[in-house]
């Protein structure tokens, strides 16, 4: 699919100060809402980290249309109308038209690192799924959702990360599809989010664990809503964690082909986010009463190892 080009320019070039202020706003928002992710971005060159902050904020703005506190009380029809308007605005953005300074940084990012419009439209479609679909009968349904709301982020980021020059000269038999590796990392991250947030999501009437797998492990929806911790729950969660780790492993195949200045931050983010799965396990799979997170000291201690992996892979 061809990458869309900007067919028009804003009526006037914004000042550098205005652009810098908008990027700083993106940095602050990323630091506030995505601490582990933000730590990884700090290992990137300035131009790339700023682009990733802009993409993150666009994704967060999209998510907030659904999940902001004031959105929770809105009827489904209103939420779908908001998403339709956001899609139209996103298409305008890719045509070079903006409405505010956060559009400005996205426009700047798109020009520096051409982006696939379809990934942004697919993410909006994932938000539409959240309006109408609160249960998933099987993993195949959940995988589609995970691609739309998170695998797309891998595609958005891919152009910013870039590929190592060695990728073009390597034998075809050795080369993974970089897009598939990027999607796999997004799906792995989303599966991790789902497992960490089971307790919070149930309060919003959403259960993302596949219904057929809950049945297989003898754990009912009423058990989940009651926060029941038993052997069936632990077996179900162990199965879910193993699958999430397998998706992280699939993503690793593509990390070594990233440009040299992107491998360390991606390895760091991958390892730190995968660490949430270890914390869930250490907490005996209790995601109803405790939120799983990787302590800051652990994150800092892992950075040197991620650096070594980035050099040898």
Q: What average pLDDT does this structure show over 45-64?
A: 95
| Alpha-carbon distances, residue 20 vs 27, 110, 176, 280 (angstroms) | 10, 16, 37, 39
Q: In sequence order, which residues have a C-beta less than 8 Å from that of residue 22 and are 6 or more positions away?
A: 101, 102, 104, 105
pLDDT at 294: 84
Total domain count, the chain: 2
Q: Which phi and psi angles does 44 have, rounded to 5°?
A: -90, 160
Predicted confidence band of residue 313 (pLDDT cuts 50, 70, 90): low
Same domain flag for 166 and 267: yes
Angle at 69 between CA 127 and CA 290, to 5 degrees: 90
Judged against a pLDDT cut of 50, whether residue 2 lies above it is answered with no
Predicted confidence band of residue 5 (pLDDT cuts 50, 70, 90): very low
CA distance 307 to 93: 36
Q: Structural domain of residue 191, as residue ranges?
A: 133-313
**Position 2 in a domain:** no
Judged against a pLDDT cut of 50, whether residue 4 lies above it is answered with no
CATH code of the domain containing 166 = 1.10.600.10
* Beta carbons within 10 angstroms of residue 78's beta carbon: 12
Same domain flag for 98 and 36: yes
Same domain flag for 71 and 179: no
Q: What average pLDDT does this structure show over 200-210?
A: 94
Share above pLDDT 70 across residues of the chain, in percent, rounded to a whole number: 90
Contacts of 221-226 with C-beta under 8 Å, sequence gap 24+, read: 224/198
């Amino acid at each position: 699919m061809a990458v869309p080009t900007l067919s028009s320019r804003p009526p006037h070039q914004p000042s550098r100060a205005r652009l810098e202020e908008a990027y700083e706003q993106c940095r602050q928002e990323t630091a506030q809402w995505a601490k582990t992710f933000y730590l990884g971005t700090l290992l990137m060159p300035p131009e790339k980290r700023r682009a990733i902050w802009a993409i993150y904020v666009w994704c967060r703005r999209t998510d907030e249309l659904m999940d902001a506190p004031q959105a929770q009380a809105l009827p489904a029809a209103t939420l779908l109308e908001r998403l339709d308007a956001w899609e139209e605005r996103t298409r305008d953005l890719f045509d070079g038209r903006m409405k505010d300074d956060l559009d400005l940084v996205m426009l700047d990012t798109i020009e520096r690192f051409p982006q696939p419009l379809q990934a942004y439209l697919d993410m909006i479609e994932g938000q539409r799924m959240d309006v109408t679909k609160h249960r998933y009968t099987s993993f195949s349904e959940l995988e589609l959702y995970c691609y739309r709301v998170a695998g797309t982020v891998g595609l958005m980021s891919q152009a910013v990360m870039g590929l190592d020059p060695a990728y073009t000269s390597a034998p075809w038999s050795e080369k993974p599809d970089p897009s598939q590796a990027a999607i796999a990392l997004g799906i792995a991250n989303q599966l991790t989010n789902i497992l960490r947030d089971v307790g919070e999501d149930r309060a919003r009437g959403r259960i993302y664990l596949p219904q057929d797998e809950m049945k297989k492990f003898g754990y009912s929806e009423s058990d989940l809503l009651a926060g029941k911790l038993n052997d069936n729950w632990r077996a179900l969660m162990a199965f879910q964690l193993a699958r999430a780790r397998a998706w992280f492993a699939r993503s690793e195949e593509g990390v070594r082909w990233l440009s040299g200045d992107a491998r360390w931050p991606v390895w760091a983010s991958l390892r730190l986010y995968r660490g949430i799965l270890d914390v869930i396990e250490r907490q005996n799979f209790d995601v109803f009463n405790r939120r799983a997170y990787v302590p800051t000291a652990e994150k800092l201690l892992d950075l040197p190892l991620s650096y070594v992996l980035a050099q040898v892979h």
